[in-house]
């Protein structure tokens, strides 16, 4: 095998950004799409020039036509279909949030191990050069000791029938966009927090439509995160260290067209750090190719992914109980 044959597991809206990435990659090709409706799959395949259309997800998994699937289902279906794909011998790139409980995450990891197939979380911003540059700055010590990270991701939900507003589907703004600053903070501090405090505003939908959290890390660092479904699109992330701070105006999306990071050193003039242009979704696709074709270790580990879910669960529990949650005692 010298090319990975991809299938799209659903006709989700987000696919439109991942399809160009698969096509821009040198070692992948998009060969199939599956939908709950054959008619929908056929129309989608025609629109996007995809060779094969399937009227059920399982049919595509069992067809022998795909080596890997991109899972872009509503959140409550991520675990079930990742496991079914892995059991069918198909590699999986699964959207964030990876799953909605640690039992689900552990079952997914077990299915990956049992099948020997690759399983990875599609947190696209983590694979972009901008994020890798930030990691290098943090690890090089140029920012000194990291005291605080602050991250925001908000957007306005326009349709009240959006799946993000359905509690049983894993709706809620922390699961949907709060996980971006949550995971970025974990990346900066090199691991999960030791304790968290969360506060939410639950709308008539029954899900959190605003969520803010405070996270403490071993060694004393802290993170503030905020997310909302009720305010226009806004993303921001900053890292505050004893030797200066980095400002990212496009930390999670929109940085693919050659943005600049701003560095404000403790002494001296502010600097702009150039960021190479790269298609935002290309990194996650190419990382899958390296893992599948070369046996490379995936860039985003399943341990990191598990901690994203674990921290979000602890924040939800904190918001429910109105008190801080110690992650050590919460769940391993
Ligand atoms: N990384 C990113 O940049 C990014 C951005 C947006 C969303 N996401 C993630 O991607 C996933 C999909 O988000 P989206 O906004 O693209 O979703 P969406 O447009 O609502 O699509 C979800 C798809 O899931 C399938 N589906 C299966 N069961 C369903 C059910 N009971 N109700 C509704 N749809 C069902 C449908 O496909 P068929 O009808 O064809 O079966 C539907 O098109 C979510 O997990 C989200 O968090 C990631």
Question: Is 295 a residue whose pLDDT tops 80?
Answer: yes
Q: What fold, for 126-281+310-330?
A: Dihydrodipicolinate Reductase; domain 2 (3.30.360)
Residue whose token pair is 């997800």:
57
Report whether 4 contacts 292 (CB < 8 A). yes
Q: What percent of the chain has pLDDT over 70?
A: 99
Q: Output the six-digit token pair for 318.
A: 């904190």
Predicted pLDDT of residue 260 = 83
Tokens coding 183: 């995971």
Section 237-262 average pLDDT? 90
Catalytic residue positions, numbered: 96
How far does Cα 330 stand from its chain's mean position?
23
Residue 149 buriedness (CB in 10 A; 0-12 / 13-18 / 19+): buried
Of 81, 59, 55, the residue nearest 70 (C-alpha)? 81
Distance CA 223, CA 31 (A): 42
User: Domain 4-122: what homologous superfamily?
Assistant: NAD(P)-binding Rossmann-like Domain (3.40.50.720)
Look at residue 332 in the predicted model and tell me its pLDDT.
63
Per the CB < 8 A criterion, the answer to whether 227 and 210 are in contact is yes
- Residue 77 and residue 94: Cα distance in Å, rounded? 10
How close is the Cα of 63 to the center of ligand 1, in Å?
Answer: 22
What does the block give as tokens for 279? 């298609």
In the block, residue with structure tokens 């050590």: 328
* Model pTM score: 0.97
Check residue 1 and give its pLDDT. 77
For position 226, what pLDDT does the model report?
98
Alpha carbon separation from 329 to 103, 221, 243, 314 (Å, rounded): 16, 20, 34, 10
pLDDT exceeds cutoff 90 at 254 = no
Boundaries of CATH 3.30.360.10 in the chain? 126-281+310-330
Which contiguous run of DSSP H or E holds residue 138?
A: helix 129-140
Residue 191 main-chain phi, psi, to 5 deg: 170, 180
Residue 331 pLDDT greater than 90, yes or no: no
Ligand 1 center to 269 CA (angstroms): 45
Q: Which residues belong to CATH 3.40.50.720 in the chain?
A: 4-122
Which protein residue has the closest C-alpha to ligand 1 atom 11? 72
For the segment 278-290, the average pLDDT, to the nearest whole number, is 96
Per-range mean pLDDT, top range of 112-126, 245-259, 267-281: 112-126
Ligand 1 first shell, C-beta below 6 A: 10-14, 35-36, 40, 72-75, 77, 95-96, 122, 124, 163, 176
Tokens of 301: 């580990």
Q: Residue 257 has what pLDDT?
A: 67
Closest CA to ligand 1's atom 42:
12
pLDDT for residue 286? 98
Q: What is the pLDDT of residue 117?
A: 98
- The Å distance, Cα 37 to ligand 1 centre, comes to 14
The answer to whether 195 and 326 are in contact (CB under 8 A) is: yes
Taking the centre of ligand 1 as the mean of its atom positions, its distance from the CA of residue 161, in whole angstroms, is 13
Which atom of ligand 1 lies at the shortest distance from residue 75's CA?
Answer: 45
Between the CA of residue 304 and those of 98, 192, 220, what are the distances in Å?
A: 11, 8, 20
Residues 25-74: tens digit of each pLDDT: 999 999 999 999 999 999 999 999 999 999 999 999 999 999 999 999 99
The DSSP line for 215-281 is EE-TTS-EEEEEEESEEEEEEEEEEEETTEEEEESSSSSS-TTT-EEEEEESSS--EEEE-----TT
- Tell me the per-residue pLDDT of 183-225, one tens digit each, with 9 for 90 and over: 999 999 999 999 999 999 999 999 999 999 999 999 999 999 9
pLDDT band at 255 (very low <50, low <70, confident <90, very high): confident
pLDDT-based confidence at residue 325 (cuts at 50, 70, 90) = very high
Give, in order, the Cα–Cα distances in Å from 289 to each of 85, 233, 260: 17, 32, 28
CB 67 within 8 A of CB 59: no
């Amino acid at each position: 095998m010298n090319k990975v044959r991809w299938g799209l597991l659903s006709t989700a809206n987000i696919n439109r950004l991942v399809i160009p990435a698969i096509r821009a990659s040198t070692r992948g090709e998009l060969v199939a799409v599956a939908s709950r409706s054959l008619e929908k799959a056929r129309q989608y395949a025609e629109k996007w020039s995809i060779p094969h259309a399937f009227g059920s997800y399982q049919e595509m998994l069992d067809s022998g036509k795909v080596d890997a699937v991109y899972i872009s289902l509503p959140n409550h279906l991520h675990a079930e279909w990742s496991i079914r794909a892995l059991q069918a011998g198909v590699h999986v790139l699964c959207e964030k949030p990876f799953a909605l409980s640690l039992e689900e995450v552990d079952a997914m990891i077990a299915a990956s191990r049992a099948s020997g197939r690759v399983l990875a979380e599609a947190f696209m911003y983590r694979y972009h050069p901008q994020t890798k540059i930030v990691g290098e700055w943090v690890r090089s010590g140029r920012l000194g000791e990291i005291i605080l990270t602050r991250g925001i991701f908000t957007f306005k939900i326009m349709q009240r029938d959006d799946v993000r507003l359905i509690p049983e589907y894993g709706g809620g703004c922390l699961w949907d966009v709060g996980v971006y600053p949550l995971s970025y903070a974990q990346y900066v501090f090199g691991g999960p927090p030791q304790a968290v405090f969360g506060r939410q505003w639950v709308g008539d939908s029954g899900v959190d439509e605003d969520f803010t959290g405070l996270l403490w890390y071993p060694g004393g660092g802290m993170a503030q995160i905020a997310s909302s479904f009720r305010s226009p699109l806004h993303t921001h992330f900053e890292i505050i260290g004893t030797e200066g701070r980095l400002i990212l105006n496009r930390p999670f999306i929109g940085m693919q067209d050659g943005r600049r990071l701003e560095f404000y050193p403790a002494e001296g003039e502010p600097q702009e750090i150039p960021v190479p242009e790269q298609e935002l979704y290309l990194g996650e696709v190419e990382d899958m190719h390296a893992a599948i074709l070369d046996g490379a270790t995936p860039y985003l580990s399943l341990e990191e992914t598990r901690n994203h879910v674990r921290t979000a669960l602890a924040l939800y529990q904190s918001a429910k109980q109105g008190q801080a949650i110690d992650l050590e005692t919460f769940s391993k």
